[in-house]
Amino acid sequence: MHGTGVPLVTPFSDGAIDHERLRSLVEWLERSGVDFLVPCGSTGEGPSLTTAERATVVETVVDATELPVLAGTGREALEPTVETTALAAEAGADAALVVTPSYYGADNADLAAYYRALADRSPLPIYLYSVPKFTGRALAPEFVAELASHEDVAGIKDSSGSLGSVQRLVDHTDDDFDVLVGSGSVYAAGITAGADGGVLAVANVVPERASAVFGLASAGRTDTARERNAAFVELNHAVTARFGVPGVKAALAMRDQSVGRPRRPLRPLEREDEAVLESILERTLGE
| Binding-site residues for pyruvate | 43, 199
Catalytic (active site) residue 249? no
Partner residues linked to 130 by β-bridges: 158
| Bridge partners of residue 199, in order along the sequence | 5
103 is catalytic: no
Question: Which of 248, 212, 206 minimizes the C-alpha distance to 227?
Answer: 212
Which one of 127, 157, 187, 249 is the catalytic residue? 157
* CA–CA dist 197, 169 (Å, integer): 13
Residues making up the binding site: 43, 199
The residue from 103, 114, 127, 129 that is catalytic is: 129
User: Burial code of 34-53, b = ≥16 C-beta within 10 A, e = fewer?
Assistant: bbbbbbbbbbbbbeebeeeb
> What is the C-alpha separation between 42 and 192, in angstroms, rounded?
25
Task: Give the closest residue to 278 by CA, choosing from 244, 252, 240, 242.
Answer: 252
CA 67, CA 88: separation in Å to the nearest integer? 15
Active site residues: 129, 157
